[in-house]
Structure 1
Amino acid sequence: MQFFQKSQEEIRIEQKLQRINTAQQDEKYRKPNPCQIVFPEENFIEMIVQQEGKQIKLNTYRFPAVTKPKAIVFMFHGLCAHINHCAHIAQKMAQEGFLIVGFDHRGFGKSEGLRGYIESLEIHLQDSRLFIQKVMELQGNSNLPIFLSGQSMGGMTAFRLAILGNIPNLKGIILYAPAIKSLFSGLFIGTIQFLGYLIPKYKLVKPKRGQTTKNPQITEDLMKDPYTYQQELLPKTISTVTVSMKESESMYRQLNTPWIVIQGGIDKLVDPDLAQILERESPSQDKTVLFYENLWHDIWHEEEIQDIIPKVIQWLNQRV
Structure 2
Amino acid sequence: MAAITTKEQQVVVNYMSEELQTIFLSNLDEAPARRRAREAFKDIQLAIDHCLFRLSSDGVKTKEVYEVNSRGLKIFSKSWLPESSHLKAIICYCHGYADTCTFYFEGVARKLASSGYGVFALDYPGFGLSDGLHGYIPSFESLVNDVIEHFSKIKEQKKYQDVPSFLLGESMGGAIALNIHFKQPAAWNGAALIAPLCKFAEDMIPHWLVKQILIGVAKVLPKTKLVPQKEEVKDNIFRDVNKRKLAPYNVLLYKDKPRLGTALELLKATQELEQRLEEVSLPLLIMHGEADIITDPSASKALYEKAKVKDKKLCLYKDAFHTLLEGEPDETIFHVLGDIISWLDEHSSRKNKY
Same-fold status (TM-score > 0.5): yes
> Could you give the per-residue CA deviations for residues 224-277 of structure 1, whole angstroms, max 9, x where no partner exists?
322111233210111111221122111110001100000111111111212322
Asked whether the 8 Å contact 1:200–1:235 carries over to 2, the reply is: yes
- Residue 72 (structure 1) aligned with residue 90 (structure 2): yes
Asked whether the 8 Å contact 1:42–1:59 carries over to 2, the reply is: no
Asked whether the 8 Å contact 1:254–1:283 carries over to 2, the reply is: yes
Q: Paired residue for 2:194? A: 176
Moved more, 134-143 or 283-292: 134-143
**Aligned partner (choices 275, 279, 285) of residue 254 of structure 1:** 279
1:146-165 matches, cutoff 5 A: 146-165=165-184
Q: How far apart, in 2, do the equivalents of 1:245 and 1:146 lie?
A: 25
Change (3 A) 1:243 1:75: same
Q: CA deviation at 1:161?
A: 1.1
1:86-125 matches, cutoff 5 A: 86-125=105-144
% identical aligned pairs: 22
- Residue 35 (structure 1) aligned with residue 52 (structure 2): yes
Q: Paired residue for 1:143? A: 162
- Residue 225 (structure 1) aligned with residue 250 (structure 2): yes
Q: How far apart, in 2, do the equivalents of 1:226 and 1:45 lie?
A: 20
Paired residues, number: 285
Q: Paired residue for 1:312? A: 340
Q: Paired residue for 2:226? A: 204
- Root mean square deviation of aligned Cα: 2.4
> Could you give the per-residue CA deviations for residues 100-157 of structure 1, whole angstroms, max 9, x where no partner exists?
0000111111112111111111111111101111212344561211100111000111
Q: How far apart, in 1, do the equivalents of 2:63 and 2:218 lie?
A: 33
Q: How far apart, in 2, do the equivalents of 1:70 and 1:238 lie?
A: 38
Asked whether the 8 Å contact 2:66–2:74 carries over to 1, the reply is: no
Q: CA deviation at 1:69?
A: 1.4
AA aligned opposite 1:198: V
Moved more, 80-89 or 211-220: 211-220
* Unmatched segments (≥5 aa) in structure 1: 1-30
Moved more, 219-228 or 97-106: 219-228
Q: Paired residue for 1:273? A: 298
Q: Paired residue for 1:134? A: 153
Q: How far apart, in 1, do the equivalents of 2:284 and 2:66 lie?
A: 28
Asked whether the 8 Å contact 2:166–2:190 carries over to 1, the reply is: yes
Q: CA deviation at 1:45?
A: 6.3
Q: How far apart, in 1, do the equivalents of 2:147 and 2:177 lie?
A: 9
Change (3 A) 1:240 1:79: same
> Could you give the per-residue CA deviations for residues 78-118 of structure 1, whole angstroms, max 9, x where no partner exists?
11111132222211111121100000111111112111111
Moved more, 150-159 or 267-276: 267-276
Q: How far apart, in 2, do the equivalents of 1:256 and 1:269 lie?
A: 26
Q: Which has the higher helix share?
A: 2
AA aligned opposite 2:62: E
> Could you give the per-residue CA deviations for residues 43-89 of structure 1, whole angstroms, max 9, x where no partner exists?
34624353xxxx32111010102423121100111111111322222
AA aligned opposite 2:172: M
Q: How far apart, in 2, do the equivalents of 1:34 and 1:270 lie?
A: 24
Q: Paired residue for 1:263? A: 288
Q: How far apart, in 2, do the equivalents of 1:42 and 1:105 lie?
A: 17
Q: How far apart, in 2, do the equivalents of 1:95 and 1:224 lie?
A: 25
